[in-house]
Amino acid sequence: MACLSDETLIATNENSLGAIEAAQARDHLLLCPACRRAAAAFRLLDSVLAEPVLHEPPPRLVPQVMGRLFPALPRLTSIAAAVAASAVLLITWIYIYFDFSSSSLVQALRLTADGTSGWLAGVVKGITSVYDGALAAQKAGAALLRMLLPAPLGTAVLAAAVALAALLGFTLLRPRLRRAEKAAGSGSGPERP
């Protein structure tokens, strides 16, 4: 009988041959030292492969995945900034919506101006007229806003408009700032090779 093929030897080791083929292979192995050696070599190979040499994953692997999946909460400074910005928006909205035209401080100033004469009355009248001007502008703006949009939506639109304007300003100014920075850098710093 011819020697067993590698495939048959591997299948013999894996016990995956049919009953007749397995019996024939067993008989041949009893008689053929070369095939016995080859079968032993495949057995050694199988046993070594069954104990894989695994590379150790770095300890940062799992924590980094957790960090990417569940980003940490925002830092205290960002929370404080967000709270401050919200407070400014809220105060602006309250001021526009509830119309504080009868400020007690201005009333007091007006009474003082009525009761006095000379240069002090002039100063007080100047202050109150500036205040009146600002108040009129604010009233006109608030009326327009109230006419165009319901109050909370108006505030949101105002906030978005301010943010957009800031972004636009930053975008427009950035190249100039960079150019200025570069010019300052090349003027004073050492030359690069």
Partner 1 sequence: METDEDQVLIRRALRGERRAFEELMRKYEKRIFGFVVRMVRNEETAVDLTQDFFIKMYTVLDKYNFEYKFSTWAYRICYNLVIDHIRKHQAQVESLDDDSISPRDLLASDNVNREDGFRALSRAETRDYVWRVVDGIPLKFRELILLRYIQDLKYEEIADITDLPVGTVKNRIFKAKEILKQEMEKDGLLV
Q: Which residue type, as a one-letter code, is found at position 17?
A: L
Question: Left (φ > 0), alpha (ψ -120 to 50) or beta: where does 15 sit?
Answer: left
Q: From the list 3, 64, 86, 136, which residue makes contact with partner 1 (rule: CB under 8 A)?
A: 64
Q: Please identify which residue in 3, 23, 44, 143 interacts with partner 1, judged by CB under 8 A.
A: 44
Applying the rule CB under 8 A, the residues between 68 and 127 that interact with partner 1 are 68-70
Which of the stretches 18-26, 43-51, 138-146, 162-170 binds partner 1 when contact is defined by CB under 8 A?
43-51
Residue 16 DSSP label: -
Identify the burial level of 92 via C-beta atoms within 10 angstroms of its C-beta, where 0-12 means exposed, 13-18 middle and 19 or more buried.
middle
Single out the residue of 53, 73, 105, 147 in contact with partner 1 (rule: CB under 8 A).
53
Question: How many Cα atoms sit within 13 Å of 60 on the Cβ side?
Answer: 2
Among 3, 65, 84, 134, binds partner 1 (CB under 8 A): 65
**Distance separating alpha carbons of residues 59 and 61, to the nearest angstrom:** 6
Asked if 150 and 107 touch (Cβ cutoff 8 Å), the reply is: no
**51/191 with CB nearer partner 1:** 51
Within positions 4 to 23, which residues make up the interface with partner 1, using CB under 8 A? 6-7, 10
Does 51 interact with partner 1 (rule: CB under 8 A)?
Answer: yes
Residues interacting with partner 1, by CB under 8 A?
Answer: 6-7, 10, 37-38, 41-42, 44-46, 48-58, 61-62, 64-66, 68-70
